[in-house]
Structure 1
Amino acid sequence: MLKWHKHYYTGSGVKNSSRIRRRLEHGNPVPGIYLITLSDNPRNLLEILSALTLIQESAADMCPEIVGIAKGKEEAMDLVTEMIRTIFSETGGFEVKEYWKNR
């Protein structure tokens, strides 16, 4: 089961996030969609991964909490930039996990 943050970011290219989310929950492929997750690696703030990787059940089970969804890799990178800027402007730092925990 995928873990979605209650207030995840959605890129402007994503037209029906609830439908995409439902498809991902059922293990169906959603080409062109990228997910932004909290990173398990302490050296990274966030990670971008293709939704196609979640077709494998083991990958879906290990997926960290999803905090954003975008259409295309470029939009995903733009969304990450926006998220980091927002976090820094609101907290004055880069404590991403703490920010999402309290959001």
Structure 2
Amino acid sequence: MPKWITDYYIGAGIKHPKKTRKKIDAGHLTVDVYLITLSENPGNLLEIIPASMLVQKSYARICPTIVGMEKGKDAAIDMAAGIIKEIYETTGHFQVKDYFKNR
């Protein structure tokens, strides 16, 4: 089952967030929903993955912590940029994992 932060970001394009999250957690196909996750790669801050990737149980087990979800790839990119901007404006740094750990 995917890991979610407590107060994850929900994009305006997600009409029924609880229902969408429940579908993702159950491993059902969710079309055009993208997840913003913490990056496992030290060279990246966040990653954007299609929620449909989590249909594969092997990928769902290794999925990084989810910090947001949005409908549409362009909107997900905008959301990720907004999260990074918020973190920088709040802390003055790009320490994304620390920000969510202490939030």
Code of the residue aligned with 1:79 in structure 2: it is M
Residue in 1 aligned with 2:94? 94
> Given residue 51 of structure 1, which amino acid in structure 2 is its aligned partner?
A
Which deviations, in whole Å up to 9, do the C-alpha atoms of 1:63-99 show, x marking residues without a partner?
0000000000000000001101100000001000000
What pairs with 1:12-91 in structure 2 (closer than 5 Å)?
A: 12-91=12-91
Partner SS, residue 2 of structure 1: coil
Gaps of 5+ in 1: none
Corresponding residue pairs, total: 103
How far the C-alpha of 1:59 sits from its partner, in A, is 0.4
The amino acid that maps onto 1:62 is: I
Unaligned runs of 5+ in 2: none
CA shift for structure 1 position 61: 0.3
Give the percent of matched residue pairs that are identical in Structure 1 and Structure 2. Answer: 48
Equivalent-residue separation in structure 2 for 1:24 and 1:81 (angstroms): 23
Q: Distance in 2 between matches of 1:25 and 1:85?
A: 28
**What CA distance in whole angstroms lies between the structure 1 residues aligned with 2:26 and 2:81?**
29
Moved over 4 A (4+): none
Q: Normalising by structure 1, what TM-score?
A: 0.98
TM-score by length of 2: 0.98
